[in-house]
Structure formats: structure tokens, C-alpha cells
Amino acid sequence: MSNHVSFPAKLLLFGEYAVLFGGNAFSIPIFKYYGNLAFSQKNDKNAIKSNKVLKRFSHYLIKLINSNSFLNNFDFIEFRKEIDAGLYFNSNIPRSYGLGSSGALCAAIYSHYFHSQELLDLAIIKNQLALFENYFHKSSSGFDPLVSYIQKPIFLKKSTIPDIIEFNTFIKSLDIYLLDSHVRGKTKDSMNNFLNKLNNVAFQNNTLNKFIELTNLCIDTLLKPNSNYFYQYLFELSHLQFNEFGELIPNHIKDLWYQGLKSRNFCLKLCGSGGGGFFIFFNNSDSTPEELSKRLIKVFI
């Protein structure tokens, strides 16, 4: 097995939560963060810990293979043999930060050990990867690992139909950063918080529909492209998240978020489920705030 093939992290630019209710989503690979399968050459604590994760995952995987005939092309014997030989996932993708660390791991395993005799379409690959990632997230859509596996931007229409998108000049021109909250996100807690909002009829009938609408409009104007309308919808989406999803924004981030909405020089939005980890920072001026320069990680270099 080659230990040089890397799989990037993903950045869900738009679609968090909305995709669960029929909304569209758009995600891109982030090559600054990546991981690859490798064999440890020394007594490395991280490698040992990762190897144990793979062993536990293999126990789940054999049950999965036995109950799903379309996974028969997965070389479980080789996978288990290499785990016993010290296989681990060598990665710099921060965990619980909204960049799909488990998705990149699933993509790497799928790529190395799944050998199909036919060319599979994206929807099938997505569904197979979802089964893999269910081990880590209970109920995965397969979207995160698909982006890492394909290593290209993917547009997901109405939660089901994936389509590979090439970077257009407008997307590349966007001044996008990751803002580190220095708080690890808790996906389960954030998800439960959002789902509890659905008990509120007004939220379900009004806020959720508006949220999905703005998400779809941001993606539409991003891919068209139309810069004037894109920033209009982006600031509306940021404003909605600030007002309605405050529990998913750490207190020390809220002041900055409000500052951006007020000045319109930049805006923030959730990255993944929120609650911590990274937040996405869209710059809308000629320069970024000086006090933030050391906290921002540029997406497009």
C-alpha cells in the first residue's frame, strides 16, 4: 500500500442543517488540512491511538460487509492484515472543528480497500461512504467523505443529488478565512440544540424556511455567479444565524460577529454544526481587521 496518497479536509461553505430538510449544500476540499494511511516507523502515541480506532472500526466494518452485498468488493482481509501491521491515519485535520476529519479517514479507507469492477456514480459512492461514516456519527449523509474522496467542490441538490463543480473565478476571488474559536465543537450537542428548535412552530414554519431559502440563494449566486446578490444574501444568512442560532456561537465570537454585520466589512457564519471549532469568515473589504490577522487562516492561497 502506498502511504503517500492524501485526502483533504472539507469545508461546507453552505448547507449546514438546511441540508437535513431538503436544502442544497456546497462543500469544497481544503488541501491545507489532509490525512493519509501510513505505517508507523516508531513508537508514536498518536499512531498507536489511531491504530486502535482502526481496529474498532474494523469490527464494525465486518458486520457491515456481511449485511450489505454491495460492499463485497471491500478487501477486508488486507485491511485487517495492515491494521495488525501498524496501519494508522496520519492527519493534521483538527478534530471537532467542522472540517470532516472522520470523512477524510473514511475516504482514505474506501479508496485503498474498495475495489469495484465497475464505474460507480457519485450517488452510490456517497451512500457507501455514508455507511462507513455512520460508525463515527451515527447518521451520516456521506457528503463529507465524498468531498474528501473526489477532492473537488461538490454541489448537493435537495440533499440527494451530488454534482462535481469546478472552481469558477468568482469563487476563487472570494476572500474567505477560517476563524479559530479555540473551543472544540460538540456535534451531538449542537445537533440536539437545533432539533429542539423544531418544537417551536414559528421556528419550523418561518425561520427554517427562510434559512433554507437563503442557503439556496447563496449557493445559486455563488455558482452563477452574481457578486452583488451573493453578498446581499450572505449577510442576510449571517444575520439570521446570529439572531436565531445564538446558542451555537461562543460568547467571545458574538461581539465580532455583530461588528461584521454592523460594518458590513465582513461577516461570519457557522462552519458545520457550530458550537465551537472553526467559523467561516467572509471578508468584504480591501483588508482584514488588523487585530484578527493572527487568528485567521486563509482558505484560498
C-beta of residue 165 within 8 angstroms of C-beta of residue 26 = yes
pLDDT at 301: 65
- Which pLDDT tens digit goes with each residue over 43-54? 789 999 999 999
Of 1-5, 104-108, 166-170, 294-298, which has the strongest mean pLDDT? 104-108
Which CATH class name applies to 169-298?
alpha beta
Percent of the chain, pLDDT > 90?
61
Q: Which CATH number fits domain 7-164: 3.40.50.620, 3.30.230.10, 2.40.50.140, 2.60.120.10?
A: 3.30.230.10
Closest CA to 259 of 231, 233, 288, 286: 288
Per the document, the length of the chain is 301
Tell me: the pLDDT tens digits for 198-228? 888 888 888 999 999 999 999 999 998 777 8
DSSP lists the bridge partners of residue 298 as 177
Please give the pLDDT value at position 159.
67
pLDDT mean over 62-76:
84
Most confident of the ranges 256-260, 271-275, 283-287? 256-260
CATH 3.30.70.890 in the chain, residue ranges: 169-298
Question: Where along the chain do the CATH 3.30.230.10 domains lie?
Answer: 7-164
| Amino acid of residue 109 | I
Q: Which residue has the higher pLDDT, 166 or 29?
A: 29
> Residues 3-45: pLDDT tens digits?
568 999 999 999 998 888 889 999 999 999 999 999 987 778 9
Return the higher-pLDDT residue of 275 and 169: 275
Q: What percent of the chain has pLDDT over 70?
A: 97
Q: What average pLDDT is seen over the chain?
A: 89
Reading the block at residue 214, the C-alpha cell is: 437563503
- pLDDT of amino acid 200: 84
Contacts of 121 (CB under 8 A, 6+ apart): none
3-state SS, the chain, equals CCCCCCEEEEEEEECCCHHHHCCCEEEEEEEEEEEEEEECCCCCHHHHHHHHHHHHHHHHHHHHHHHCHHHCCECHHHHHHHHHCCEEEEECCCCCCCCCHHHHHHHHHHHHHECCCCCCCHHHHHHHHHHHHHHHHCCCCCHHHHHHHHCCCEEEECCCEEEECCCCHHHHHCEEEEEECCCCCCHHHHHHHHHHHCCCHHHHHHHHHHHHHHHHHHHHHHHCCCHHHHHHHHHHHHHHHHHHCHHHCCHHHHHHHHHHHHHCCEEEEECCCCCCCEEEEEECCCCCCHHHCCCEEECCC
Check pLDDT > 60 for residue 1. no
Burial label, 153 (beta-carbon count in 10 A; 0-12, 13-18, 19+): buried
Which cell is 60 given?
464494525
Residue 270's alpha-carbon distances to 201, 280, 281, in angstroms, are 23, 6, 9
What pLDDT is attached to residue 161? 79
Mean pLDDT for the stretch of residues 59-81: 88
- Residues 81-91 have a mean pLDDT of 96
What is the pTM assigned to this prediction?
Answer: 0.90
Q: How far is Cα of residue 279 from the mean position of the Cα atoms in its chain?
A: 12
Q: So what's the pLDDT on residue 170? A: 78
